Amino acid sequence: MTKKEFFDAKEIALKSLMEASIEGKVDEGIVSILDQINKIQGFYTSSSCAGRIVLLEIPQIGDKRGATFLGIWHRTIETHELQTAATKATTGFLWLLAQAPIVHIGAETLQHAEKMLKTAISCGFKNSAVKSLGKKIIIEICSTERLDAPIGRDGCLFCEEKHLSLLVEISNEVIKRSQEKIGRFTNKLGNFSDFL
């Protein structure tokens, strides 16, 4: 990729981020790190998520297109919030998901990508990797913490309250750890350009 191609791609990505931000489509918990990465020469961000807890209804396993989001939280939750969201269920499998942050970053060179990956991994984002080496160099910053648990079917929860509370506790821990890692990553990126 030439410098011009990189700068064009960054300009498009930043415009898209600004539009998404105006429309309220950017997670508040990830804005500061996106801004910080986008200020560093040789990088830009694309799709991202601060980490989330999701209650999902899926008609059948593997049917992502038919899935319905019954609840999405980018924060810790209480068990009653999950139970309330579950009342919207009708048919299909109910899944509780807790997902760590994901940030996709365009890098100008492999040297840039390697430095960003090492920094992310040192902050606890152990699942980070290069996702594309084609026309664009794209890296994905993500962590290992997650929870995927089937909790019901056809509008009925199969979990007793104690078990549901345990799953919520684990989900909240995923979110808390995510926030800590984002904080460490943000701090490390403050001196990042000194090492390029």
- Chain center to CA of 156: 28
- Residue 154 reports pLDDT greater than 70: yes
- Whether 88 is in a domain gets the answer yes
- Whether 47 is in a domain gets the answer yes
Confidence of residue 171 (pLDDT cuts 50, 70, 90): very high
- Whether 187 is in a domain gets the answer yes
- Residue 167 reports pLDDT greater than 70: yes
**Proportion of the chain above pLDDT 70, given as a percent:** 97
The token pair that represents 97 in the structure block: 């998901």
Structural domain including 70 reads 3-112+123-191
- HEC per residue, the chain: CCHHHHHHHHHHHHHHHHHHHHCCCCCHHHHHHHHHHHHCCCEEEEEEECCEEEEEEECCCCCCCCCEEEEEECCCCCHHHHHHHHCCCCCCEEEEEEECCEEEEEECCHHHHHHHHHHHHHCCCCCCEEEEECCCEEEEEECCCEEEEEEEECCEECCCHHHHHHHHHHHHHHHHHHHHHHHHHHHHHCCHHHHC
- Whether 182 is in a domain gets the answer yes
Confidence of residue 194 (pLDDT cuts 50, 70, 90): low
Looking at every residue in the chain, the average pLDDT score rounds to 91
- Whether 117 is in a domain gets the answer no
The token pair that represents 95 in the structure block: 């899944």
- Whether 196 is in a domain gets the answer no
Q: What is the CATH number of the domain that holds 154?
A: 3.30.1960.10
Look at the alpha carbons of 131, 134, 136, 137 in this order and tell me if their dihedral is positive or negative: positive
- Chain center to CA of 99: 7
- Residue 195 reports pLDDT greater than 70: no
24 exposed, middle or buried (CB, 10 Å; 0-12, 13-18, 19+)? exposed
- pLDDT in the model for residue 62: 80
The token pair that represents 193 in the structure block: 């350009």
152 phi/psi in degrees, rounded to 5: 180, 180
- Whether 167 is in a domain gets the answer yes
The token pair that represents 99 in the structure block: 């997902």
The domain tally of the chain equals 1
- Is the Cβ–Cβ distance between 174 and 100 less than 8 Å? yes
pLDDT one-digit tens code per residue, 41-84:
999 999 899 899 999 999 888 888 889 999 999 999 999 999 99
- Whether 95 is in a domain gets the answer yes
pLDDT one-digit tens code per residue, 97-135:
999 999 999 999 999 999 999 999 999 999 999 998 888
> Mean per-residue pLDDT for 13-32?
86
